[in-house]
Amino acid sequence: MTGSTDVTGSTDVTGSTDVTGSTDVTGSTDVTGTDPRWVAFVTGADRAGTLTALTNVFSTRGVNFESLSAGSVEGDAGLIVVTFLASDRRRRLLIRTVERLAVVRSVEVYPAEDSAVRAAAVVQLPRGGEFAPPEGADVRWSGDSTPGRPVLVEGTLADVERVVAHVCALGALSAGLVILPPVDTAPPT
């Protein structure tokens, strides 16, 4: 493992109480629905077993993925993006364990609402509905907004998810979303 970044700036105190009010010492499941949502960018070796090792860390600690995607491979390493819900304490435990995997090169973790977490989506409205992002969604979009034509939308994860939810409510023919790799790998100051 060559490096890791935890952009939350939190510290770990053994035996501390997590934000849900329960003590998590063993890694037992305690997802309350009020747990924060996280996005982890994991750079791992391009070899059999890397994804299995990563998913096993989450599974054995009772944490489910909201989403998981494997990105492009450059040289002998690839990017895996995972979104999940966990208390801050459980997130620290997961990341420490992931960092120790021999197949992992680096880990960056961000709160899902962090403006550094960017996403893109392709949306297609049915005939009769022209594309327009919902009010307050700060996104860039391109393409032919004529009904029935696909449009590419880019912005923060939260804003792009709002757009996708909006077009789905309008009867979108299709919508696909991908979380983009961080542009700057240095932790925010």
How much is the pLDDT for 145? 78
What is d(CA 164, CA 76) in angstroms, rounded to the nearest whole number? Answer: 34
Entry pTM: 0.76
Q: In the predicted model, what is the mean pLDDT of residues 67-72?
A: 87
Q: Tell me the residue type at 8.
A: T
3-7, 133-137, 158-162: which is most confident: 158-162
How much is the pLDDT for 127? 74
**What's the mean per-residue pLDDT of the chain?**
80
Q: In the predicted model, what is the mean pLDDT of residues 121-141?
A: 86
Binned at pLDDT 50, 70 and 90, residue 144 comes out as confident
Q: Tell me the residue type at 175.
A: A
Q: In the predicted model, what is the mean pLDDT of residues 89-103?
A: 95
How much is the pLDDT for 178? 94
Task: Indicate the helix (H) or strand (E) that contains 43.
Answer: strand 37-45
Q: How far is CA 181 from CA 2, 51, 112, 116, in A?
A: 18, 17, 13, 10
Binned at pLDDT 50, 70 and 90, residue 184 comes out as low
What is d(CA 189, CA 26) in angstroms, rounded to the nearest whole number? Answer: 33
SS3 89: helix
Q: Which percentage of the chain shows pLDDT scores above 90?
A: 57
What is d(CA 131, CA 124) in angstroms, rounded to the nearest whole number? Answer: 8
